[in-house]
Amino acid sequence: MLSPEPIHHAVQSAVLSNSLKATLLVSLSMLVSPLFGQDGKIYPLEAPDEPNAIPLGTGGVDDQPAPESWFRQWGEPMARNVSTATLTPFLPDPEKATGAAVIVAPGGGFMWLSMHNEGWKVAKALADQGIAAFVLKYRLQPTVDSLEEFENQMNRRFEEAGEGASDSNPRPRRPNWDLSNQQTDAETAYAMILDRAEEWGVDVNRIGMMGFSAGAGLTMHCTLNSDPMKLAFIAPIYGGMNAVDLSKKVPPMFSVIASDDFLFQGEFGVVKSWFEAGVPVEFHLYQNGGHGFGLGYPDRTSNRWFEAFMHWVTVNGFLKKS
C-alpha cells in the first residue's frame, strides 16, 4: 500500500509540471483499486489511468491471444500483453531542469512490465533531480489469458533466465530472444524525444537509457545493435552480466547488481568488456537486494544505488548545461 507521504509529495510536484500530474493520477488509481497483491501471488488489477502516455505508433504484436491487462504482485502494478507501445514523459520543474534525459525501460522478462517499481517511481525520482525521464512501455511477448496459467509462464521465464549453468560454469547465459519489436519501440521513443527536445527541454547530446532486468537487456541490446540511437550513457540495473562483443562505439556505463541475484553468479563479463575497450564504466556489486529491487527495499545494501548513479552522472558532466 502507498503511504500518505508519497501521495502528498506527488500533489506538491504536480503543481510544478503538467507531466508530473501523471504521477498523482496513477498513484490515486492504485489507491482506489482493491488492495491485494502485497505478497508474491498475482491478483487481477484494473488498468490504471495513464493520462500522459503517448502512443508510439510502432504497430502491434503477432499472434496476440489476449488484450493488454494488468495484475498486482508484491504490491506493485504490472502490465502484460502490451501490444501498443507508449512513452510517458516525467518532466522536471523548469527551475531544476538540467537538460539531461533518460529513457526508462521497466523489466519483466519481456512478458510483463513492472510499471511502477521500475518505471513511474524511477522516472519521478529522476525528474526530482532535474532529469527529464521517459517511461517506455514497450511491446511484449504474448501470454495466456488465464492468470493461473500466466503465473506458470512467469515461473518458466525465470527458470529460462538462469539456464545454461553447469558445475564447470555456474553462470547463467544471456537469453537470445527476438527483440526486434522492442528495439523499434525504443528507437521510436528516442526519435520522438529528439523531435520534441525543445518542447521538453532536452539536450539531444545528453540522452541516456536506464533499464531494469529485461529492460536492462533491452538497454544493452539497443546499445550494441541500434544505429539511430546515439545514447550519451547507459545504466543497466540488475541485467545480464555476460561478456559482449563491442564491435561498435558504446557510451559510458553505470551498472548495478546484487550478489544474491540469480543473474549474477560471479559473472563480471560485461564490465570487463567495457573495461578492456577503454570505455568509462562504473560497477556496483551490492551484498544483498536480490532481483527486482527497483529503487530499493528496506534493510538491503542495494538501497543506495540511485544516490551513486546521481553522483556518477554529476561527476561525468552529464548534468551540465551546454
Give Cα separations from 174 to 26, 145, 155, 162, 287 (angstroms): 33, 28, 17, 9, 22
Share of the chain above pLDDT 70, in %: 83
E-strand spans in the chain?
42-45, 54-55, 69-73, 76-80, 86-90, 101-105, 112-113, 132-137, 207-212, 233-237, 253-258, 281-286
pLDDT at 20: 40
Mean pLDDT of 198-208: 98
Instruction: Please list, in sequence order, all residues whose beta carbon lies within 8 angstroms of the beta carbon of residue 89, skipping any fewer than 6 positions away.
Output: 19, 52, 54, 132, 133, 134, 200
pTM across the whole model: 0.85
Residue 236 · residue 264 · CB < 8 Å: no
Share of the chain above pLDDT 90, in %: 73
Residue 159 has pLDDT above 90, yes or no: no
Residue 308 has pLDDT above 60, yes or no: yes
Residue 301 backbone phi and psi in degrees, to 5:
-65, -20
Residue 208 · residue 231 · CB < 8 Å: yes
Domain annotation for the chain: domains and CATH numbers: 4-315 (3.40.50.1820)
pLDDT at 230: 98
pLDDT at 38: 54
Mean pLDDT of 207-218: 98
pLDDT at 7: 29
